[in-house]
Amino acid sequence: MEYETVQGTSVPKIGLGTWQTAGQETYGAVRTALAAGYRHIDTAQAYGNERYVGNAIHDADVDREDVFLTTKVRPDRFRPGRLKRSVANSIRKLDTTYVDLLLLHWPNPLADLRETMEAMADLVERGDVRHVGVSNFSKKRLMKAQRVSPEPIFTNQVKFHPFKPQRELLRYCQDSDVLLTAYSPLGTGGVLDDDLLRRIGARYDKTPAQVALRWATQHQNVVAIPKSTSQDHIEQNIDIFDFKLDREELDRIARPDPVKNGLAFAKGTIGI
């Protein structure tokens, strides 16, 4: 495993995403991932699966302290009282005493961001939360969160894959010691039959998914959280640290304009 260090804290470069997984499927995926060596798990209140993530970590042969655990607050719960109650609930469901990282799941233009970030900071002070961050924030909104937050913003979790390389946001994160957490690093499946990734993968005996994840994780300040419930894919997605893409391959893989390469929009798999 490789790690990314921001603000003095190291985070495993690959974590397990649990978006759109539920119940026993979530439990099984997290158990499989922990057995395969994952030590970074991502969930959210909105996924409705925190209880299963918690059970899986509890039942697995790992120490809670060794797992980097993220959850996210639903945007309709950003008022301080509601936020604090909802996080206490999340922590209970996750069967733990703290989360490593607490994110605002999406921007909520109706909420007072300063008040919300102050409530998050209170949770850090109490020891319920180690780091705070945001998700689906533009660079401008991220900068505003940094201005009003008493605690440093640890990450902005956004969609990041070869057709959405987030260049401006990433450069900003790199310059300001903020982690960029890449969700949907496989383009929600959209990069899996990409010809270039297949050809590059053949050089290293790797699948297109592995090449996409290597590409993401070779960027400084980036960690990736591919989602999978299949044992084979979960194991494959962490088996990417025994090869390295060269400069030319890294550049060719990023194709920010999906219209030009023709497939993404046509298939409806690559969102903005």
Report the interface residues with ligand A2P, using CB under 6 A: 17, 184-189, 192, 207, 209, 226-230, 233, 236-237
What would the two tokens of residue 186 be? Answer: 């496989």
Closest CB 75 distance from ligand A2P, rounded Å: 20
* Choice among 3, 27, 38, 47 that is catalytic: 47
Judged by CB, which is closer to ligand A2P: 133, or 185?
185
In the chain, the amino acid numbered 54 is: G
CA contacts within 13 A on the Cβ side of 244 = 5
Radius of gyration, CA atoms only, the chain? 18
Q: Are strands 40-42 and 99-104 parallel, antiparallel or unpaired?
A: unpaired
Q: Which is nearer to ligand A2P, 130 or 233 (CB)?
A: 233
Nearer to ligand A2P, 21 or 221 (CB): 21
CB burial string 126-163: b at 16+ within 10 A, e below: eebbbbbbbbbbeeebbebbeeebebbbbbbbbbbbbb
Nearer of residues 138 and 230 to ligand A2P, judged by Cβ: 230
Smallest separation, CB 39 to ligand A2P (Å):
18
Q: Which residues contact 195 (CB under 8 A, 6 or more apart)?
A: none
| Nearer Cβ to ligand A2P (21/86) | 21
List CB contacts of 30: < 8 A, sequence separation 6 or more: 16, 18, 41, 52, 53, 56, 57, 60
Rounded to the nearest whole angstrom, what is the least distance from the CB of residue 238 to ligand A2P in the complex?
10
| Number of C-beta neighbours around residue 56 at 10 A | 25
- Catalytic residue list contains 47: yes
Q: How far is the CB of 59 from ligand A2P (least distance, A)?
A: 21
Q: What angle do CA 240, 166, 1 make, to 5 degrees?
A: 20
Closest approach, Cβ 185 to ligand A2P, in A, equals 5
Q: Is 71 helix (H, G, I), strand (E, B) or coil?
A: strand
Residues known to be catalytic? 47
